[in-house]
Structure 1
Amino acid sequence: MAQSSEKRKRQDVDGGGLGDPEVSDSHPLAGFRLQAVLKESARDKVIFLHGKVDGDSQEPQDTVVILERVPFQADAVSGLLSQRPPVTLQLKNDIYSVYHLTPPPALNEIKTTVICPATEKHIKKYLRQDLFLIHETGEDYKAVTLPFIEAQSFSIQWVYNILEKKAEADRIEYENPDPEHGFILIPDFKWNQKQVEDLYLIAICHPRGIKSLRDLTSDHLPLLRNILIEGQDAILKRYGFHGNKLRIYLHYQPSYYHLHVHFTALGHDAPGISVERAHLLHDVIQNIESDPRYYQIRTLTYALRADEALLAKFREVGKC
């Protein structure tokens, strides 16, 4: 996922939009000066940095840089080992040996996401924070969450650019063009598309104005069923993955307020699949079938970071 989360929030990244590739005469990290390490994960081999870069204006621009080790590819690794790359022995004990191996540059890439200019919201998003659970009732949504959402200036123009084929048209893998019950299916930028084991696609619905789970009623069942059935069929034809090997879900709270559905390989530990955030599409459809107003009245639980403004709103009314 390689750029601004406003241009491409599927950084979702809480993500996350690139648009079509751009040609630039300047390096995106020209004059980068580190300000802080926002977060790092040894397990996931990723680090989040806040820095300043030399922008088009005279003033340096705040920038968030995400450095992430790319996944291994079986063919490339097999070829690497057969070539006897340089190794340095670190430890040997009986049958166990640990070496540091130096791969060639082509196999030592680092996926680099650049968000520039980064706002304070972007910087806080990637800063390690304490988390708090919110148990949001239907009334809480109407009284606290919805007014908060409507008061924000969240830009989802990048979503409309995709739907209108103004950006990323060449990346669309499937489309149902129906304006009311249709959607597009596109790879998420968290997936490099080089191994199906990490498969990650997003279905973005064509109708506008459906912000999240909370808006869904029986009127939306044809749309949801199309996404479920046609999305699985498209992935089966393209990647050979049957529906019983897919995790298909919606986030609540979502990372951007235009209805979208995540398709990931069941064996892939994708971000955002925790029980307090991911809602399986099968279950969503069944819940609405049993009660058309299920998501208007149901208490939904989700986590918020300590610095999030929505958490402050809940604290103001004594809900957290």
Structure 2
Amino acid sequence: MSTNPAEEEAKLRKFNFTRILNQDTRTKTVNLLGEIESTPAILIAEKTAFNVVGPHLTKFSHDLHLPKVSLTGRNDIYHWFLASQSSDYGEVKLTLIFPATETHIRKYTHQQLRMVVETPEIYKGLVKPYVEGKRGNGRLDWVYNILEHKAEKESIIAEDTDDEEGFILLPDLKWDRKTMASMYTMAVVRRRDITSIRDLKKKHVPWLKHLRRRIPEAICQKYSDIEPDQIKIYTHYQPSYYHFHLHAVSISHDGGLGQTTGKATLLGNLISWLESLGGDEETGLEGVELTYFLGEESELWQGVFKEINGKGKG
């Protein structure tokens, strides 16, 4: 068997693509079936990791003018770019958060995870006041900019203008808006009285069913390459921001921790959960015990659950 580099490269360049066998949007890997001189061959392509040596990253930030960089969207402190292919970096999605707060820094810092149990008492006494504090001081301005058409209007996929049941559906910043296998959209509801699943009650079930029907319909009307049963719709607890919203994602896309147990709840399961609760129409999830994970750098861990979990170790 030849080990001559030139011969092996020549062999690679004879690869004739036939079809895609598989792709992983999480690891940025694609498995290709083809032929080399009429013999079946498989080519596995994977995007490499960034070089995290300090000087290289400094050069990266200074050299952003070298590849073609196009602004794909902006809302408040969030700016989104796409840097086209270059010999050094390839195609890169760039998100600029500026100015960044300490909360942002904590969120995007690598951290250990901890499981926590949030009882109704802990929620009402400690977590709910924290949530209410996070809704003030302009923290949700970027959400209201979307709802009021002050930002991202050109990106809207679909809109329902009803004050109670309405929503705006638009691409999530995690999606390149081209690759349907990694399709990632976000539905921001118009009503402002729901912060998270904790505020949902049995009376909200018809509204949630409306969202479960309308969101896939809107996506499939916009994009012909996906069908309703290839879309998963879920919400987070705890969410990144406290205005109720849903994520509608291609079922083939691996979204990492954001789609795992302890973070994401499928909309269909959420509806069934609410329907199964006893009591009247005002009964809701404020009175149930929830188990989920937090990062050790998060304010909720530092300010609430670190002490609670510590007491439980005795």
> TM-score of the superposition, structure 1-length normalised?
0.66
For 2:173 and 2:180, the matched residues in 1 are separated by 14
- After superposition, residues 47-86 of structure 1 pair within 5 angstroms as none
Please say if residues 181 and 222 of structure 1, whose CA atoms lie closer than 8 Å, have aligned partners that are also in contact.
Answer: no
For 2:78 and 2:227, the matched residues in 1 are separated by 37
For 1:306 and 1:275, the matched residues in 2 are separated by 18
Q: Deviations over 1:118-145 (max 9, x none)?
A: 2222222211111111111222211121
Residue of structure 1 equivalent to 2:237: 252
For 2:244 and 2:127, the matched residues in 1 are separated by 16
Q: 2:142 aligns with which of 158, 166, 188?
A: 158
Change (3 A) 1:203 1:165: same
- After superposition, residues 116-265 of structure 1 pair within 5 angstroms as 116-152=98-134, 153=136, 155-240=139-224, 241-265=226-250
Residue of structure 2 equivalent to 1:85: none
The alpha carbon displacement at 1:67 in A equals 10
More helix by share: 2
- Size of the aligned set, in residue pairs, is 238
Residue of structure 2 equivalent to 1:77: none
Residue of structure 2 equivalent to 1:307: 297
Please say if residues 80 and 173 of structure 2, whose CA atoms lie closer than 8 Å, have aligned partners that are also in contact.
Answer: no
For 2:83 and 2:151, the matched residues in 1 are separated by 27
For the aligned residue pairs, the C-alpha RMSD in angstroms reads 3.4
Q: Deviations over 1:278-319 (max 9, x none)?
A: 000001111111225341222212111112221131234456
Please say if residues 169 and 215 of structure 2, whose CA atoms lie closer than 8 Å, have aligned partners that are also in contact.
Answer: yes
SS state at 2:259 partner = coil
Q: 2:253 aligns with which of 258, 262, 268?
A: 268
For 2:130 and 2:306, the matched residues in 1 are separated by 13
Where structure 2 has 5 or more consecutive residues not aligned to the other structure, the ranges are: 1-45, 63-76
The alpha carbon displacement at 1:69 in A equals 9.3
Change (3 A) 1:228 1:297: same
Change (3 A) 1:43 1:105: closer
> TM-score of the superposition, structure 2-length normalised?
0.67
The alpha carbon displacement at 1:43 in A equals 8.5
The alpha carbon displacement at 1:151 in A equals 3.1
The alpha carbon displacement at 1:150 in A equals 2.1
For 2:82 and 2:124, the matched residues in 1 are separated by 39
For 1:44 and 1:210, the matched residues in 2 are separated by 41
Please say if residues 111 and 295 of structure 2, whose CA atoms lie closer than 8 Å, have aligned partners that are also in contact.
Answer: yes
For 2:88 and 2:206, the matched residues in 1 are separated by 46
SS state at 1:111 partner = strand
Change (3 A) 1:168 1:104: closer
For 1:104 and 1:246, the matched residues in 2 are separated by 33
For 1:67 and 1:304, the matched residues in 2 are separated by 29
Change (3 A) 1:248 1:47: farther
Change (3 A) 1:192 1:67: closer
The alpha carbon displacement at 1:149 in A equals 1.7
Please say if residues 117 and 291 of structure 2, whose CA atoms lie closer than 8 Å, have aligned partners that are also in contact.
Answer: yes
For 1:107 and 1:131, the matched residues in 2 are separated by 31
For 1:47 and 1:237, the matched residues in 2 are separated by 40
For 1:69 and 1:252, the matched residues in 2 are separated by 33
The alpha carbon displacement at 1:256 in A equals 0.5
The alpha carbon displacement at 1:242 in A equals 2.0
Pair member with larger Rg: 2
Where structure 1 has 5 or more consecutive residues not aligned to the other structure, the ranges are: 1-41, 55-62, 71-102
Moved more, 292-301 or 248-257: 292-301
SS state at 1:132 partner = strand
Q: 1:108 aligns with which of 79, 83, 90?
A: 90
The alpha carbon displacement at 1:46 in A equals 6.2
